[in-house]
Structure 1
Amino acid sequence: MTIAPTKLSDPAVRAFVTAVNAGDREAFFALLAADATMSDDGSERDLADWVDREIFGPNGRMAVQTESHGGHALVAEFTNETWGTMRTAWRFTVDGGKIRRFETGQA
């Protein structure tokens, strides 16, 4: 069972998932803080390089399964044309309506 992006609790996280699923790179970067950071499986990554390689280049999509911590933690089936589908965990730090940091990895 998936949770529709429109039903996600936090507006910034809702916009993040919506932008990913729409393939909208411009909207995605508009919701990030200017100094946003991210990690993948515990390793710090260059955010712009990572999202182009993992999300926007290979048509990444998120099907959210669960949310917790006020909408700042998700478990989702993440699919892209490089890796196929995998169960992933996402944690977000939101400040002033902008995503300051996100962490993802296999769930």
Structure 2
Amino acid sequence: EVTRGSTELRQLLSQAGVKLVVVDWFAPWCGPCRAIKPKYEELASRHRDCLFCSVDCEATGENKALMMDAGIRAFPTFHLYAGSRRVHESSGADAAKLETAINTHKASAAP
């Protein structure tokens, strides 16, 4: 889980190398966020060739600033990054839609 804002997220993205990075932007009070969490963890276990992380948008001031910089307006929001570049954004607790995006972007990033 990202707790130190943009510095930590940038570091995570640069260390990911060629892996697709899936970021879950959430708030602890958000019911749909809590509902999709087990499915998000299941996706992470099925897609071990990707890097999954979460950003609690209310955990720290740094995370709140990061959320604003990222333009997060709804919870949960999911971003996919390839090579430190955002390639996908979706909102809502739709695990099937998220998995479709993961598969699509993994396929397009494959050598």
Does the alignment reach a TM-score above 0.5?
A: no
Structure number with the bigger relative contact order (C-alpha 8 A, sep ≥ 6) is 2
Of Structure 1 and Structure 2, which has the larger fraction of its residues in helix? 2
TM-score, scaled to structure 1: 0.32
Of Structure 1 and Structure 2, which has the larger fraction of its residues in strand? 1
Which structure would you say has the larger Rg?
Answer: 2
